[in-house]
Every structure is written in C-alpha cells, then in structure tokens.
C-alpha cells in the first residue's frame, strides 16, 4: 500500500467513525419515521418504478430502513433479491418472499432463507440498492469497509452489466468528499428521507 493509499484509508476510517457515531444517536422512532419517507422517495425513481428485478438488502440497527421499500417493491411484482453473506465476505443472493422468509444470520444480519441463486445473480438486476455510510457530489460511496459490495460492483463491471446503482442514506451523510481508492465505483443516485439526488452517469 502506498503512502497515499494509507492516507485515504485513514481518512475513510475517521469518516466512518464519525458517521456511525451520528447514527448511534438516532432513536428507534427517528429511524422508523425516516424509513417510510425513504421508501416514498425511492419509489419515485424511474429506475425502480420500471425495474423487473432489484437487488436490495435488509437494513439493520440504525441504517436507513429498507423494510417498507422491500415490501412495496414485492407487492408491485418486482423480483427482489437479497444478499447472503458468504464466509469470504462475498455475497450470494436469494429471492425475498416477505418478512417471514428472513432469518437471523451472523453479524446481526437478516438473510433470506430461500434457494440460493449464486453470486452472479446480481448481474441480472435492473437496479441495485447499496448500503453505505456516505456519498459525495461525484457519487463516490463510502461503505463499512468489509469489501462485500466492492466485489458486487466489480462483478457487475466485469459482466458489462449497467444497473442503476442507488445508495440509501440520511441527508447528513451526503458529504463534500469521500476519500477515493482505485477500486471504488461511483453510484448513480442517492435517496434520503428528504430528497433524491442523481449523479451524472
């Protein structure tokens, strides 16, 4: 790792800590209220309204809530794929079949119990909803640092797939600059409980 890469990594770690601290201060009522607003705004996106398949995730803890969004997409007939964390931190995928089809997994995650479709299943998605901690004006996203979604984005790129990449955040998590590393990919839009912002593709 070069000195520049070490500096970027350190900047990312500091930003992650600050944002996670802010999330930890949210109440359950804050996150529940935000989840409904987030779903309303996300569903206004043409990329989701027109999607046949959406790769998404189940929010946990104080993450911007996805449950209402998942259920509405499914009710509209959208095929929703949810991740299953593999031992090497890569992601497999399985269909979302309602809240009753989710089971507790490692790291506090909720995962679908249905048939696994393989890591390549994400390549067929029309839109991919990404967790994150921040995004900047260029669309550069800051994740938690586990690398799972870096692999997903690299897989999409290798396959020549071009789904809409949408990150779900709180408004204060749209920041002036996210430290960027060579493997980072920009997203196409950010949805918060207050508004939607698109980035140039």
Of 175, 173, 169, 172, residue with least CA distance to 190: 169
Q: How far apart, in whole angstroms, are the C-alpha atoms of residue 7 and residue 24?
A: 26
pLDDT at 8 over 60: no
Greater model confidence, 193 or 6:
193
pLDDT at 15 over 80: yes
According to DSSP, residue 136 is labeled -
pLDDT at 1 over 60: no
- CATH classification number, 3-198, choose in 3.40.50.10420, 3.40.50.720, 3.30.420.280, 3.40.109.10: 3.40.50.10420
Burial class (CB in 10 A: 0-12, 13-18, 19+), 155: middle
Tokens (6 digits) for 119 = 């890591």
pLDDT at 2 over 60: no
Per-residue model confidence (pLDDT) at position 9:
67
pLDDT digits (tens, 9 = 90+) for 63-114: 999 999 999 999 999 999 999 999 999 999 999 999 899 999 988 889 999 9
Q: Which of 10-19, 128-137, 152-161 has the weakest average pLDDT?
A: 10-19
H helix or E strand, kind and range, residue 38: helix 28-42
Q: How far apart, in whole angstroms, are the C-alpha atoms of residue 98 and residue 71?
A: 7
> In which band, very low, low, confident or very high, does the pLDDT at 6 lie, cut at 50, 70 and 90?
low
Per-residue model confidence (pLDDT) at position 4:
43
């Amino acid at each position: 790792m070069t000195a520049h890469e070490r500096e970027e990594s350190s900047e990312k770690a500091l930003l992650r800590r600050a944002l996670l601290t802010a999330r930890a201060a949210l109440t359950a009522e804050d996150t529940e209220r935000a989840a409904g607003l987030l779903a309303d705004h996300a569903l206004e996106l043409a990329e989701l309204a027109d999607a046949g398949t959406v790769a998404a995730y189940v929010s946990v803890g104080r993450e911007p809530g996805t449950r209402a969004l998942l259920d509405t997409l499914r009710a509209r007939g959208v095929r929703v794929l949810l991740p299953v964390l593999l031992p090497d931190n890569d992601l497999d995928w399985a269909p979302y079949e309602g809240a009753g089809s989710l089971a507790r997994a490692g790291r506090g995650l909720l995962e679908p119990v249905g048939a696994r479709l393989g890591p390549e299943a994400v390549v067929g998605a029309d839109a991919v909803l990404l967790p994150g901690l921040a995004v900047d004006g260029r669309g550069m996203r800051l994740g938690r640092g586990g690398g799972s979604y870096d692999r997903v984005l690299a897989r999409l790129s290798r396959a020549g797939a071009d789904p809409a990449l949408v990150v779900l955040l709180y408004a204060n998590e749209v920041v002036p600059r996210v430290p960027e590393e060579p493997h980072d990919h920009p997203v196409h839009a950010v949805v918060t409980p207050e508004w939607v912002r698109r980035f140039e593709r």
